[in-house]
Structure 1
């Protein structure tokens, strides 16, 4: 095959890959949308058929979300304090002016 034929063939293959990728993405979106509709219907049925269970599960879900948020917050604060505690080679000392001693600098 000549170089031109190979180049054209490569372009056609790439076009088909893009089309296939777009179709797959479209199908995945459709499946996700259908699952959301099913989930919504399940929630409606649960609420209607077992209101006590629905209320209990709502409470558990709410508590779980609060707990996850708290854990993320703790991790973020810990990461921020760790990043602030990194030693960059400079000394950070607080000096009480009443007790500060003056010493010659030997720089």
Structure 2
């Protein structure tokens, strides 16, 4: 539990829609599921700590990165999964823009 808000208030007292939490609180629980030594790769649980403000360390972007590593298809399937789970049109537009930028940056570096 790396998030200072969770240490102070506890996990049951934080409203997920109003409190921006860092991605550290979400990603620490998923690292055990995605270990390279596991024979069956499971899709991590979708994030529940999104503040819906389009912040730089968005948990949906981190989730998409994890899915890209699992599928290894350049991000197409992960983009479909993430966009199907987000219902807010403004957040979907933000995520679509960020995911396209990620695809371009990874294709240039390869």
TM-score (norm 2): 0.21
Tell me which structure has the larger Cα radius of gyration: 1
TM-score (norm 1): 0.22
